[in-house]
Amino acid sequence: MRNWRHRGWNAGKLSGIKPSVELPPIILAWFASRGWQPRRHQLEMLEAASERRHALLVAATGAGKTLAGFLPSLAELVAATRAPSQAGVQTEKKDPLSGTGPQPPLGNTIEPQAGLHTLYISPLKALATDVRRNLLIPIEEMGLPIRVEARTGDTPSDRKARQRVKPPHILLTTPESLSLLLSHEDSVHMFATLKRVIVDEVHAFANGKRGDLLSLSLARLQTLAPVVQRVALSATVADPDDYRAWLAPNGDIDQVRLVEGEAAAEPDLTILLPEGRVPWAGHSGQHAIPQLIEEIGRNNITLIFCNTRFLAEFIFQKLWDANEPKYAIGIHHGSLSVEARRKVEGAMADGKLRALVCTASLDLGVDWGNVDCVIQMGAPKGSSRLLQRIGRSNHRMDEPSRAILVPGNRFEYLEAQAAYDAVAEGMRDGETFRPGSYDVLAQHVMGIACAGPFEEGELLAEVQSALPYSALDAATFARVIAFVATGGYSLKAYDRFQKLVKDPDGRWRLSHPQFAAQHRFNAGIIVDAPMLEIRFRNGRKLGKVEEAFASTLSPGNTFTFAGMALEVESIKDLDLIVRAATKPATNIPSYMGARLPLTTHLAGRVRQMLTDRLGWARFPDEVREWLEMQAYRSQMPKAGQLLVETFPHEKRHYMITYPFEGWNAHQSLGMLLTRRMESRGLMPMGFVASDYALGVWSLKPITDPRPLFSADILADEFVDWVESSYLLKRAFREVAVISGLVERQHPGKRKTGRQVTFSTDLIYDVLRKYEPDHLLLEAAWADARTRLTDVGRLGDLLDRAADTMLHVDLERVSPLAVPLLVMIGRESVAQGSVDDALLMEAESLAGVAMTP
């Protein structure tokens, strides 16, 4: 029970509010025995359950959201038991996720009626630590005979099989595991008793493909258990009505009660300034390493968040190099082995670490009450994400969480200040909801077919009740089913795509049982880049690196991973065999995961800062001087304007624009501009993009940039570029895997990344030639437009350029252009380190730019 005093959910007051629904005496007695009372929002969740309404709870981190979500289930399950004679009876503690659950005191309880009562769905597989603290300990201490189990990809197969026959009262799972459960014939019986579904951290995945899958699963559960109540929990929601609509059957937000928690203490947030000067370029923040060591020494536990796994490894190594006090520092990210992550999590829970360097792998679900401080390395990228990470500190609702921002360069300082202001004002980033993806729908349809025959019209109505698919028409749904059934017109001649057939009564069913096993073996929404397992010769696994990185290695090469210097011995199949290196490592694995985008909300705030000259007084001297010199030598764009600068530098002609629309949109625009410049004889040589700006250089000068930015670039160059580039093939590979067209693995054998890529590229070429309107090509185009190219923000950028472009022609580089130009040819370095050559180049450019 260590650290329970830190928990906000069990230390509230009723504030004079008399609840309309009473908690069972045993639960009230358990609270009272610790001097606690339920919080208002926890009782309101109980009221929503009594009203048979769905509910969305929005409450600060540390406010007890998890207990609030489970409280109605506990109350109902308690009502189905004979209460023990004494609250808080201590019982023998079993492994919380072993499937046995707590043991009731003998002779004075009966187990609630058999059957699954509550599903808890989390975006994370690592549920055990948090669930034990939030749910199992109260159950054990009250002596309740309630069985709680987890079901994820890490759950043993024999336990999974037993769970379907004898499910626990409360099952903890993920969207993918729920989808697989629904693909079994016995799902009709397993979910018949279901009363409640709790979706935790709903903001983390509702508006993505995992959210599409879960929305379809919720629709299915509503069919199997019509009385089921849906509950969603979140700490960082900008517009609750968006999530109420997503949660509600048929998008009817009036069916969902909004419950808002009490306001939490304001966070204690600071921006760390370097002891020298704010760097011109780089994203690592390594200049602050000595100050970080000092900060670690001041705290019990410090969480250090990095935006990428590469940066996490890099900062961890730099901290160790400077760790003269010998503090215990760990590292945690998604590419480490499960064993390595569990070891670190255990060390944190036991108070054995002074600091932990981590990535988004710990954004959610961390509930260590003795974390004193959170440090964000580099730009925060969004106020909601920053608030989520800040909440990992302290985790006491009534006391401020403490966090420090460490910007890597001058633009990142502006972004950090924008995030600081947004947090102070309580502003969140808005999320964009888009129509559901066809590849996810295809996977779901196949899963339903695995569970038994279905009637097309009935399934369409069920699917339409999920908000992402509410606009789906019968003709499009028929195309989806035709794809699942035969692969489409161009592929129907191949037996391996003949998965569904129609019965004489018009219902669809599997053509052969083997397709059910194939589906369950390959289903899932997360499509990682092809990975190789890192292991020692004795078989010990360390984690994974991407196949693309491993292909650059040869025996004898060294690299750093999990804080260790490793030497490559050999590469065998999908294993990278290593040993401890006897010489310093020369490389750090890089990963091709999606960049964290600068949110539109923060981008707008940064643009406002550029024109708010009175506000510059609060900035560090070097940042203020940088902006003042920019205003003197060039111009600052007014609200809504798009500044475009042109100037010569080292026998090249540069065009720099400052849209602040994020790396994806800028990268896409760079590709399009160079294509258009090529066609107009300007002889472009290359471009460089950041979250804030885009720079293009050429052999011939650009005298009038306006025609280059015309909106028709999205109708002409964009289509040609996407179709001729790797982007569409990359998007097609993902939708082909998710939809089930291409298998990732067979029992006992997993395809290499090259094999999967070869299969999808071959099918892609066939479909492009013979069936260009194929459903998956349409799905790939949707992905390429939204996720890969950020075409929405690109369109907004071009709209702004058409009416508000501010072109300034200069005789030399401008101050605002320096951070971008320094990155030319050094993008890979910028992701992790700022080496001496980079610093020298920055100072040289700055000398030119900052001279009046």
Report the alpha-carbon distance of residue 793 to residue 800 in Å, rounded: 11
Residue of 789 and 318 predicted with greater confidence: 318
Structure token pair of residue 838: 């980079």
Residue of 185 and 717 predicted with greater confidence: 185
Structure token pair of residue 809: 């022609």
Confidence of residue 500 (pLDDT cuts 50, 70, 90): very high
The whole-number average pLDDT for the span 145-153 is 88
- Which DSSP string do the residues of 633-685 spell out, in sequence order? HS--PPTT-EEEEEEEETTEEEEEE---S-HHHHHHHHHHHHHHHHHTT--EE
pLDDT at 457: 97
In the chain, pLDDT over 70 holds for what percent of residues? 86
Residues 6+ apart with CB under 8 A from 579: 536, 537, 566, 567, 569
Contact yes or no for 316/333 (Cβ under 8 A): no
pLDDT per residue over 569-589, tens digit each? Answer: 988 877 889 999 887 776 777
The whole-number average pLDDT for the span 336-345 is 83
Question: Would the pLDDT of 817 be above 70?
Answer: yes
pLDDT at 630: 95
Question: Would the pLDDT of 8 be above 60?
Answer: no
Residues 6+ apart with CB under 8 A from 116: 167, 168, 169, 171, 190, 191, 193, 194
- The β-bridge relationship of strands 229-234 and 54-58 is parallel
Residues 6+ apart with CB under 8 A from 600: 429, 430, 661, 793
CA distances from residue 693 to 181, 245, 281, 686 in whole angstroms, order as listed: 47, 36, 13, 14
The whole-number average pLDDT for the span 161-170 is 92
Residue of 53 and 10 predicted with greater confidence: 53
pLDDT at 107: 36
Lowest-confidence range among 89-103, 468-482, 491-505?
Answer: 89-103
Question: Would the pLDDT of 829 be above 60?
Answer: no
Confidence of residue 532 (pLDDT cuts 50, 70, 90): confident
Report the alpha-carbon distance of residue 847 to residue 841 in Å, rounded: 10
pLDDT at 828: 38
CA distances from residue 743 to 152, 678, 736, 760 in whole angstroms, order as listed: 20, 40, 9, 10
Question: Would the pLDDT of 670 be above 80?
Answer: yes
Lowest-confidence range among 378-392, 727-741, 838-852?
Answer: 838-852
Confidence of residue 755 (pLDDT cuts 50, 70, 90): low
Q: CA Rg, the chain, in Å?
A: 28
Confidence of residue 276 (pLDDT cuts 50, 70, 90): low
Chain CA centroid to CA 232, Å = 17
pLDDT at 3: 29
Rounded to the nearest 10 degrees, the angle between the axes of helix 456-464 and helix 474-486 is: 120
The whole-number average pLDDT for the span 404-428 is 89
Q: Where are the alpha helices (DSSP H) in 107-208?
A: 128-131, 137-141, 157-165, 175-182, 187-190
User: How many residues are given for the chain?
Assistant: 852
The whole-number average pLDDT for the span 377-400 is 77
Q: What are the b/e assignments for 712-747, b being 16+ CB within 10 Å?
A: ebbeebbeebbeeeebbbbbbbbbbbbbbbbbbeee
Query: Does pTM top 0.75 for this prediction?
Result: yes
How many CB atoms sit inside 10 A of residue 73's CB?
Answer: 23
In the chain, pLDDT over 90 holds for what percent of residues? 43
